[in-house]
């Protein structure tokens, strides 16, 4: 497999994702493939590159080596489907994904958001009933294990092991494990549950921004600048405030500083835009005309 960096540009609709990708292409010396990706349950894999597509045309004119639209069904098969696409058969130095992400982990996650409305905070308080969610999962597992082939299905679902593995060839051992698991699950269900609590969460509309390595709050007008800067400050606080960090990022979160800027993506002289493009250039391992 050819090793090449992947950049994923996600975020809000009409926030400026296409403008950002276009700016990267115009300044990059690399051979870059660009895919506009859409994933949803029930979608089938489909790849197209219509010559009259407005966004794809912008990418071609900005210097993309090749471009395509790619739709996919989210799940383990999405990665293989994307790498089997006609687009990925082209040689390139890097790949940019705009929209949804079919490949999982990328070299850089970018989130583009508009400036918030007046008085709109990035973080909100929300009731979190983790105990109820755990109880629903326990109930589902008990129901599954009560079925004759439930143990095999549970092993495949939770451990990712095939049903036709070693356990399925030893029915007696499988039945013994199923009975033991049912006893243990019933004991867990009998324990008292904790009361719901209120915790911090990211507001609707910008979910996913908390996991990005680069966040750009796109400023479309001068009066949005102060609101954009406030959003930048909130994102910086996310990794410094213990309560915010634990509620939103949890034990898997990293305190590594991220790049967060307020920028007018249409203004080549904007300092925030230059800083964002420099961060992307580092991820691409290239020199860009900034």
Break the chain into its structural domains and give their ranges: 6-124+199-284, 130-190
Q: What is the DSSP string of 187-235?
A: HHHHS--PPPEEEEEEPTT-TTGGG-SEEEEE--SGGGHHHHHHHHHHH
pLDDT band at 287 (very low <50, low <70, confident <90, very high): low
Contact 66, 72 (CB under 8 A): no
Mutual orientation of helices 54-62 and 17-27 as an angle, nearest 10°?
Answer: 20
pLDDT tens string 14-41: 999 999 999 999 998 889 999 999 998 8
In this prediction, residue 288 has a pLDDT band, given cuts at 50, 70 and 90, of low
Phi, psi of 166, deg, nearest 5: -60, -40
Helical segments of 28-126, H only: 54-62, 77-83
Q: Count of CB atoms within 10 A of residue 212's CB?
A: 22
Fold of the domain built from segment(s) 6-124+199-284: Rossmann fold (3.40.50)
Per DSSP bridges, beta strands 94-99 and 108-114 are unpaired
Q: What is the pLDDT of residues 210-253, one digit of tens each?
A: 999 999 999 999 999 999 999 999 999 999 999 999 999 988 88
What local confidence, expressed as pLDDT, does residue 201 receive? 94
Contacts of residue 89, Cβ cutoff 8 Å, sequence gap at least 6 = none
- Per-residue pLDDT averaged across 108-122, rounded? 96
| Angle at 42 (CA atoms; ends 37, 45), nearest 5 degrees | 45
Distance CA 241, CA 243 (A): 6
Q: Where are any strands of DSSP class E within 100-189? A: 108-114, 123-128
Q: For position 166, what pLDDT does the model report?
A: 52
DSSP 8-state code for residue 168:
G
Can you tell me the mean pLDDT for 268-287? 92
pLDDT of residue 170: 72
**CB of 265 within 8 A of CB of 19?**
yes
Q: Which pLDDT value is given to residue 275? A: 97
Is residue 137 packed enough to be buried (19+ CB in 10 Å), middle (13-18) or exposed (0-12)? exposed
Of the pLDDT bands very low, low, confident and very high (cuts 50, 70, 90), residue 43 is confident
Diameter over CA atoms, the chain: 72
Among 80-84, 93-97, 138-142, 276-280, which stretch is predicted with the lowest mean pLDDT? Answer: 138-142
pLDDT bucket at 13, cuts 50 / 70 / 90: very high
Neighbour tally for 248: CB within 10 Å: 19
Which residues have CB under 8 Å from 224's CB, separation 6+? 114, 115
| Predicted confidence (pLDDT) per residue in 68-111, tens digit | 999 999 988 899 999 999 999 999 999 999 999 999 999 999 99
Res. 1: pLDDT tops 50: no
- pLDDT tens by residue, 161-212: 555 555 556 777 778 888 888 888 888 878 777 767 789 999 999 999 999 9
- Record the pTM: 0.78
Coil, helix or strand at residue 126: strand
Q: What is the mean pLDDT of residues 262-288?
A: 92
What is the pLDDT, as a whole number, of residue 161?
A: 54
pLDDT higher than threshold 50 for residue 155: yes
């Amino acid at each position: 497999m050819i090793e090449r960096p992947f950049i994923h540009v996600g975020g809000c609709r009409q926030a400026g994702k296409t403008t950002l990708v276009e700016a990267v292409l115009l300044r990059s010396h690399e051979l870059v493939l660009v895919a506009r990706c859409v994933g949803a349950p029930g979608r089938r894999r489909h790849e197209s590159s219509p010559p009259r597509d407005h966004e794809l045309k912008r990418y071609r004119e900005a210097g993309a080596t090749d471009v395509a639209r790619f739709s996919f069904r989210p799940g383990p098969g999405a990665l293989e489907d994307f790498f089997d696409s006609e687009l990925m058969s082209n040689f390139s130095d890097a790949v940019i994904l705009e929209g949804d992400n079919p490949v999982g982990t990328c070299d850089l996650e970018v989130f583009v958001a508009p400036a918030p409305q007046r008085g709109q905070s990035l973080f909100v308080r929300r009731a979190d009933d983790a105990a109820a969610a755990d109880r629903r999962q326990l109930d589902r597992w008990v129901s599954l294990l009560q079925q004759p082939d439930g143990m095999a299905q549970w092993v495949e679902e939770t451990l990712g092991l095939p049903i036709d593995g070693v356990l399925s060839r030893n029915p007696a051992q499988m039945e013994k494990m199923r009975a033991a698991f049912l006893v243990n699950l019933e004991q867990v269900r009998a324990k008292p549950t904790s009361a719901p609590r209120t915790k911090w969460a990211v507001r609707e509309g910008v979910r996913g921004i908390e996991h990005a390595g680069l966040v750009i709050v796109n400023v479309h007008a001068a009066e949005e600048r102060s609101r954009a800067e406030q959003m930048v400050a909130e994102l910086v606080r996310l990794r410094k405030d213990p309560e915010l960090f634990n509620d939103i990022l949890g034990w898997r979160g990293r305190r590594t500083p991220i790049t967060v800027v307020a920028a007018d993506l249409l203004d080549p002289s904007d300092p925030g835009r230059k800083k964002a493009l420099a961060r992307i250039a580092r991820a691409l391992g290239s020199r860009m005309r900034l």
